[in-house]
């Protein structure tokens, strides 16, 4: 929301009160449309002590540093203008962070995250850091562009036995690059798959035992 207070010593009402976005603090950077501002109190006709006007953008029209030009004109007076500098960092959200499967055995593990952007734009990047090394994540559904409600991302990597750390980092992108956001650092401990190792050991022993029995039977037949 943008607002201003209009004051006139002669108590003349304004012919118009307007605002417009600009990329520079000058008319060369003006970005249409020109917006008519609305009086807070339409019944207020006393301008000598000030009357407030506002305009509400559903989505503020820029990210980063920009300018708003206010324009007021009353009676036969010349238009009065004022530039105001504004800064906006659009909120992006990383949520539903984690890794699967949860069996903690060595093998392929899939890291996942959900990325939300207020302006419905894709991230400049979305990384998962595994043991300090960054990897670009991919969308679960390549055709999903609903960033305003959240898009799911994943990355699959083989994890070895031991302690493994992972974290997520994302950066928004609109007309300018915004500041990155980070998740905390998580860790997952990968264990030896003891159960499978035991199964393999039993199979090896059984195979050797079978071979040994076959050799004994063959030897006796010869005798």
User: Is residue 213 domain-resident?
Assistant: no
Tens-digit pLDDT profile for residues 183-216: 888 888 887 655 455 555 556 656 666 665 665 6
Q: Return d(Cα 28, Cα 26) in angstroms, integer.
A: 5
Asked whether residue 49 falls in the same domain as residue 113, the answer is no
Asked whether residue 13 falls in the same domain as residue 51, the answer is yes
Percent helix, percent strand, percent coil in the chain, to nearest 5? 15, 50, 35
Asked whether residue 51 falls in the same domain as residue 110, the answer is no
User: Is residue 200 domain-resident?
Assistant: no
Question: Helix (H) and strand (E) counts for the chain?
Answer: 1, 16
User: Is residue 220 domain-resident?
Assistant: no
Model-wide pTM > 0.85: no
Indicate the number of domains in the chain. Answer: 2
User: Is residue 207 domain-resident?
Assistant: no
Tens-digit pLDDT profile for residues 76-107: 889 999 998 877 666 788 999 999 987 678 88
CATH code at 76?
A: 2.60.40
Domain region containing 38: 2-88
């Amino acid at each position: 929301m943008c607002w201003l207070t209009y004051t006139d010593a002669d108590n003349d009402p304004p012919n118009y009160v307007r605002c417009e976005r600009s990329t520079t603090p000058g008319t060369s950077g003006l970005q249409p449309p020109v917006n008519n501002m609305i009086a807070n109190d339409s019944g207020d006709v006393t301008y000598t002590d000030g009357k407030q006007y506002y305009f509400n953008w559903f989505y503020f029209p820029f990210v980063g540093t920009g300018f708003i030009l206010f324009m007021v004109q009353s009676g036969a007076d010349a238009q009065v203008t004022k530039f105001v500098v504004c800064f906006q960092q659009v909120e992006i959200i990383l949520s539903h962070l984690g890794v699967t499967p949860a069996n903690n055995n060595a093998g392929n593990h899939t890291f996942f995250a959900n990325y939300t952007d207020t302006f419905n734009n894709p991230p400049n990047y979305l990384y998962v850091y595994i043991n300090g090394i960054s990897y670009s994540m991919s969308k679960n559904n390549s055709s999903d562009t609903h960033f305003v409600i959240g898009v799911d991302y994943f990355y699959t990597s083989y994890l070895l036995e031991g302690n493994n750390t992972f974290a997520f980092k994302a950066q928004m992108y609109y007309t300018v690059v915004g500041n990155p956001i980070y998740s905390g650092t998580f860790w997952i401990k990968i264990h030896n798959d003891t159960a499978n190792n035991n199964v393999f050991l039993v199979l090896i022993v059984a195979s050797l035992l079978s071979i040994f029995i076959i050799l004994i039977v063959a030897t006796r037949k010869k005798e």
